[in-house]
Structure 1
Amino acid sequence: MASNSSVTEAVSLGLCVKDTALSLTEQILSLFYILSPHEHTKDNAEDVPNYEVTLMPAIGLLVVLEQIIRFFMNKDLSRFQDIVINIGSALLFTLCRTLLLGVVIIVFTYINENYRIVDLPLHSIWTWIFSLLLVEFTYYWTHRALHEINILWAAHSFHHMAEDVNITTTVRDSVVDLILYDIFPIPLAMLIPPPILVVHLQFSLIYQIWLHNEVVGNLGFIEYIINTPRQHRVHHGKNPYCIDKNYGALIMIWDRIFGTYQTEKEKIVFGVVSPTPKTFDSMTLQFGYYKDVIKKFNEVQGIGNKFSALFKGPGWAPGKPRLGLIKEVPEPDPAAPKYSWDPYIPLWKKYYVVIHSTIIVVAFIQLADHPYIRYSAFKGLVAILYIIFVLTSIGTIFDGRKIGPYIEIIRCLIYFPFDYYFVASVEWAIDSNDWFVLNSSLWIIRLTHVLSIIFWLSYALFSKDEKPLPQKISLNDMESDDSLAKPKSSTFEKWLFALGILTTFLSISFLYIYNINSCRSITHVVINWIKTNLLTFM
């Protein structure tokens, strides 16, 4: 019997490994828009998944691979705090997408059923290709509008404030960007069946994930057809020759046709021309530029000029062309510091953020596209507000603000009613093993938050070395912080941080494998072993 059991477990393990490899391979290919039209064309738009959630494990793998390649190419690794801010923005963006997707599907379906111009066959490769070209055309003009209309640039500038382009920069989008990306394509519903339209709208953005990196060079003739990292780096440059260029998502033909195509020339400096706020507060970064828009609107005289301040380019001023004068864009100083805001952040703070970020990301992957949230606007709104508070708290920790510990204590306290409302009070239809995983995970997370509250209370009471920043952080707050020394981290701190990264990797890997059906028997064996030994120990 023991022999038969071992054989069964070995077969199950082999099947699990095979299915995991196939699933991950399919996900990675999807990131490059390599999809099966047959498999991804649903009969109903409501059945189209939120791919930005389901593809998160593959995106995470791409993030890790990029950093490994950067290491072997002797390039600096991406800043930890930038990766956290970018991923945090992605969670907010994707949660909003989850709620908005339902509304968008209703609107698309209504327009298609009542005002469609042509009847395209749903399960046709030609409909798929035609739809892709139309979505790409619409994305080109939407993206161009985000750059050339000041009130829209106020939303999109957050994406371009990234001074280091890496995989996570892709998901550094504002909530307003998301709304615009879903509003502009509405007329396409008169031509494209909604189940196909919803797929292409998502993958038009998802494809761009691999475009944001500095490790892929010239790809030759393929760059005449599709967008590549080398071409997209131009789009993110603040060099004068890079401004307002290369808007395409998947294909570059629209840039070539409409005169916005630009090849990479001298070294590109990433970022925006206007000053970047000196803060890691996500809400200030996402919405701070609106203050500049309002200021310009109030300063110019006359209704025509005020209209221009909103709807002409960011570089416009009275007497100048619609998009301003490119000769007024300064050449970036290659010798200047790479980052406009780079205060010292000790590794223990990074470790703390890693642990709590892991908790949030794991919960997000499980719940974000769950019908429990997808079809409940109120629950989605509560989750959005919580993520905003999390990002605000992390920003205060990274900025080293004196109020940071108190904000984080409040955030940890808020977690408990959030836990009860979203998880503990729900009667989940799950088996005993799933219940054990859920319940034990919840108690570990609750204990983590209790210990965090105790830690930050102690830190606030006894720590004297925190250097507070000005209480008001704005676009005009450009005081230098060069006086802050950056001591080397201890070996203990480095190992602690490495442990945090390993915890994140193992948690997400276990979650990914646990959700693959053929792996359930293997994971259940592990869970039963843990349960047995835990009870013995207790």
Structure 2
Amino acid sequence: MNDSAVPWLDRVFSNTSLGHRLLERLTLTNLRHAFYLVSPYETSVERLEDVPNYNAEVSAWWLVFLAAEFFVLFISGHEDRFALNDSITSICAGMLSQCFKFGGRAVAIFLYVIVWDNWRLVELPWDSPWTWIFCLFFQDFMYYLGHRAVHEAGFFWGLHTIHHSSEYYNFSTALRQAAIQDAGLAIYDCLQAFFVPPPIFLVHRYFSEIFQFIMHTSLVDTMGPLGLVFNTPSHHRVHHGRNPYCIDKNYGGVFIVWDKLFDTFEPERPEDPPIYGLVSNENTFNQVYLQFHTLFDMLLFKGRTKDVKGEPVFPGIVNKLKATIFPPGWSPGVPLVPFFHWMSMADPAHNVPEPEKPVIRYDPPARVLVKAYVAVSMVLLLAIFFHFEYDRMNLSYLECSVKIAFFVVTMQCFGAFFDMKWYARYLEISRCCGVLCYYAFLMFDHIGAGTHRLFVISLHIMAILLWTTDVLVEKISAHCRRNASADAPKCSKVGDVEVAHTVLEKTDISPFLACALLLCKKSCIKVYEKYDGDDVYRVIYGGEDIEMADDESEEESVRGDLIAFFFYLINIFFIFFFAYSGIWIFVTRDFIQDWEEVYPGCTQELTIKTILVFVYCSIVMLSSCLVCLFSPYCHRTCACLAISQCPLILFYYFNPYYDYVDGPVQRTVVKDVGLVYAQIFSMYFLAFIACALLLCRISCIKVYEKYDGDDVYRVIYGGEDSSTRKKSGP
């Protein structure tokens, strides 16, 4: 689709924005491509350089499919078929495979062209539909051989393990690809170079990969007669199962006939549905570990395996060598059969146990804060990755390497958070510091301190503050609990009621509450309880009383204080951000001068509008800060103030001065200042609503009290339940 076909996009997005790049790819043509519905005439080209990157063209539809599948699974009550940690790990693996595919695919293409130029047996015409059809079947047969090789040909399994490591089966699983698998399978690509022209090969290589995506779903049942010839989601579900009958079955890509010809086909059994994952699951979300550990294990350690008696499983050098090139499940004495250039197991299900039931998946109980942070960070990472994919051919080797390193470290941080590693927060702080150093270096290039860079810098500064605060809160709260436990009275008398020892059940407190307490000089947390005949209780923070009654009014105030405090921090951050960027813009005035060259006479109007916007921003944000400090209903008022900023978003989205224009504006220092500010306010508003809802559900401190007799009282601060409960009777 060309730009003229979607003129409304130019008003909402700039041509270089991610939104424009994704939306212009949501075409019916690309939707057809996602299902391999193409003709020879529209995809046959003469030169290799003329083959489009069909993966990038279809990627926008993949995002739509992912979102649609998760929505359908959620509303249909199948939340057990997907998980946030697993899906993010799968998407990260797909991103990493694309980063390294530039190298891996280059090796395959480089070798392919050499073979074609020097040793081709037949020179088939590139523009013949018969060449295209022949390549369709030949490419799929080569895919069958390569796919079967990475399952059965020894250490080749280490190039493919990560794709089967997910314990779920959905569209995100299709993206869980190995980073270096393509380089390892270059031999099967090059076998086609004796007959098939390179451009035609590359076209079918792209579409074969794209077609595999729609196979990874549990929403589609058997497809009737189509399943007799074509690969279907039902067939591929068997391939991903770890049930004994599923092992080493259904390798086909587009067609399933190859499996039927070579006796590797197995239909899905409704009475014994596939259980997904590996025979021995990894139980980690560490991206680098999932990518490479099986390869290293088979090459370096498998031959040294010992049994329960301490005897070597693979005695002698020959058996140790066989351990690296024979099937992964092979051991001395297990019968094998030859196939192509490797050996296959006569019984693939040999020594494969039945999956345990009920199925227990690896899913560490990460905090809501961690899940929310990683989810938001994943969206930002996807945006950066898509820009990287679109612009990578214009990047230097150093820039490309730095960005790939950024992707890898970020994925490692996600895995550490999901695995609940003690070093996760420290690794994230280090990553953010590295990003700040990188952007500090970029400030000296020809673009300088663009608003998009300031925005990224600000986000990472907030992340550093968040996790630094979280670490400090954990240390402080642990110290306070020890002091409170030591200082609390063992027992006290109030009238006829005896109060037992206070117990703090939760191991930590909300970092936002801790920040507020520290600012109010309530650094230690001591909890005592007093009761009279009217059931009035009192909680003491650091020696200062907070009276509470039986109703929920005070608890509502506690929620409001938490939300207001966090909203106050956000406003302070944006005031400094806008002050810095605004002063810089008005000092340089580069963007106004560039617009003057394109729109003569616009300087005065643009300057007035910009000044009004900054005044509006300042009034709204300063008012929000004052409301946060003094209003008794601050959390509700803050939401109204955030909504009041929506007109500013609309102003920038539909201001005609921010349409994309070729010429001097293309290289301006602040190219899309209006769009950037609009996106900032959009994210700002959504972030506030999300944080408000999140904070209302965070349980900060849980205090359980027991009394002699039959009365049990419960208090939960900042959580979903705040009640005083009395139980009568024995």
TM-score, normalization by structure 1? 0.78
Q: CA 1:111–1:378 in structure 2 vs 1: closer, same or farther (change >3 Å)?
A: farther
Partners of 1:401 and 1:369 in 2: how far apart? 34
Write the letter of the residue equivalent to 2:63: G
Partners of 2:452 and 2:676 in 1: how far apart? 13
Deviations 1:30-59 (A, max 9, x none): 111112433333332123233333322111
Aligned partner (choices 471, 490, 505) of residue 460 of structure 1: 471
Partners of 2:660 and 2:71 in 1: how far apart? 31
Partners of 2:39 and 2:445 in 1: how far apart? 37
1:392 aligns with 2:387: no
Q: CA 1:407–1:185 in structure 2 vs 1: closer, same or farther (change >3 Å)?
A: same
Q: State whether residues 402 and 466 of structure 1, in contact with CA within 8 Å, keep that contact through their aligned partners in structure 2.
A: no
Aligned residue runs from structure 1 range 11-410, under 5 A: 12-13=7-8, 23-76=26-79, 78-265=82-269, 266-274=272-280, 276-290=281-295, 292-293=297-298, 294-299=300-305, 300-322=314-336, 323=345, 326-337=349-360, 339=361, 341-372=362-393, 376-410=396-430
Q: State whether residues 26 and 60 of structure 2, in contact with CA within 8 Å, keep that contact through their aligned partners in structure 1.
A: no
Deviations 1:158-177 (A, max 9, x none): 11111101101111111132
Q: State whether residues 367 and 373 of structure 1, in contact with CA within 8 Å, keep that contact through their aligned partners in structure 2.
A: no
Q: State whether residues 53 and 94 of structure 1, in contact with CA within 8 Å, keep that contact through their aligned partners in structure 2.
A: no
Partners of 2:224 and 2:173 in 1: how far apart? 24
Partners of 1:356 and 1:440 in 2: how far apart? 19
Q: CA 1:530–1:97 in structure 2 vs 1: closer, same or farther (change >3 Å)?
A: closer
Partners of 1:466 and 1:185 in 2: how far apart? 59
Q: Which residue of 2 aligns with 1:5?
A: none
Q: State whether residues 238 and 266 of structure 2, in contact with CA within 8 Å, keep that contact through their aligned partners in structure 1.
A: yes
Partners of 1:466 and 1:234 in 2: how far apart? 50
CA drift of 1:325 comes to: 6.0
Partners of 2:230 and 2:56 in 1: how far apart? 25
Deviations 1:370-425 (A, max 9, x none): 25457x4444333322221111111111111111111111111222344467x766
Q: State whether residues 98 and 368 of structure 1, in contact with CA within 8 Å, keep that contact through their aligned partners in structure 2.
A: no
CA drift of 1:240 comes to: 0.7
Q: State whether residues 242 and 277 of structure 2, in contact with CA within 8 Å, keep that contact through their aligned partners in structure 1.
A: yes
Deviations 1:195-254 (A, max 9, x none): 111121122122111111110001100011111101100000011111100001111111
Write the letter of the residue equivalent to 1:52: N
Q: State whether residues 10 and 660 of structure 2, in contact with CA within 8 Å, keep that contact through their aligned partners in structure 1.
A: no
Q: CA 1:380–1:48 in structure 2 vs 1: closer, same or farther (change >3 Å)?
A: farther
Identity %: 29
Q: State whether residues 220 and 233 of structure 2, in contact with CA within 8 Å, keep that contact through their aligned partners in structure 1.
A: yes
Partners of 2:207 and 2:192 in 1: how far apart? 16
Q: State whether residues 54 and 365 of structure 1, in contact with CA within 8 Å, keep that contact through their aligned partners in structure 2.
A: no
CA drift of 1:528 comes to: 8.2
Write the letter of the residue equivalent to 2:405: L
Aligned residue runs from structure 1 range 405-444, under 5 A: 405-419=425-439, 439-444=450-455
- Stretch of structure 1 that moved more, 377-386 or 451-460: 377-386
Partners of 1:336 and 1:533 in 2: how far apart? 46
Q: Which residue of 2 aligns with 1:450?
A: 461
Partners of 1:373 and 1:125 in 2: how far apart? 34
CA drift of 1:282 comes to: 1.0
Partners of 1:15 and 1:176 in 2: how far apart? 38
Write the letter of the residue equivalent to 1:387: F
Looking at secondary structure, tell me which structure has more strand per residue: 2
Partners of 2:213 and 2:463 in 1: how far apart? 34
- Stretch of structure 1 that moved more, 276-285 or 405-414: 276-285
Q: State whether residues 373 and 379 of structure 1, in contact with CA within 8 Å, keep that contact through their aligned partners in structure 2.
A: no
Partners of 1:192 and 1:296 in 2: how far apart? 39
Write the letter of the residue equivalent to 1:446: I
Write the letter of the residue equivalent to 1:448: L
Write the letter of the residue equivalent to 1:381: S
Q: CA 1:71–1:108 in structure 2 vs 1: closer, same or farther (change >3 Å)?
A: same
Q: CA 1:172–1:420 in structure 2 vs 1: closer, same or farther (change >3 Å)?
A: farther
Deviations 1:402-453 (A, max 9, x none): 11111111111222344467x766668xxxxxx9xx9333221110001111
Write the letter of the residue equivalent to 1:348: L
Write the letter of the residue equivalent to 1:244: D
Looking at secondary structure, tell me which structure has more helix per residue: 1
Q: State whether residues 156 and 177 of structure 1, in contact with CA within 8 Å, keep that contact through their aligned partners in structure 2.
A: yes
Ranked by relative contact order (alpha carbons within 8 Å, sequence separation 6 or more), the top structure is 1
Partners of 1:12 and 1:192 in 2: how far apart? 41
Q: Which residue of 2 aligns with 1:510?
A: none
Number of residues paired by the alignment?
469
CA drift of 1:23 comes to: 4.1
Deviations 1:64-117 (A, max 9, x none): 111122124321251011111111111110011123334433332222122211
Q: CA 1:396–1:251 in structure 2 vs 1: closer, same or farther (change >3 Å)?
A: same
Partners of 2:330 and 2:167 in 1: how far apart? 24
Q: State whether residues 107 and 183 of structure 2, in contact with CA within 8 Å, keep that contact through their aligned partners in structure 1.
A: no
Q: Which residue of 1 aligns with 2:595?
A: none
Partners of 2:472 and 2:330 in 1: how far apart? 50
Partners of 1:318 and 1:466 in 2: how far apart? 57
The SS at the match of 1:411 is: helix
Q: CA 1:287–1:103 in structure 2 vs 1: closer, same or farther (change >3 Å)?
A: closer
- Over aligned residue pairs, what C-alpha RMSD do you find? 3.6
The SS at the match of 1:185 is: helix
Partners of 1:129 and 1:58 in 2: how far apart? 26
Partners of 1:232 and 1:154 in 2: how far apart? 20
Deviations 1:312-332 (A, max 9, x none): 111111111232662421111
Partners of 1:416 and 1:290 in 2: how far apart? 35
Write the letter of the residue equivalent to 1:29: R
Q: CA 1:530–1:117 in structure 2 vs 1: closer, same or farther (change >3 Å)?
A: closer
Partners of 2:87 and 2:403 in 1: how far apart? 21
Partners of 2:11 and 2:145 in 1: how far apart? 44
Q: CA 1:425–1:56 in structure 2 vs 1: closer, same or farther (change >3 Å)?
A: farther
Q: CA 1:533–1:186 in structure 2 vs 1: closer, same or farther (change >3 Å)?
A: closer
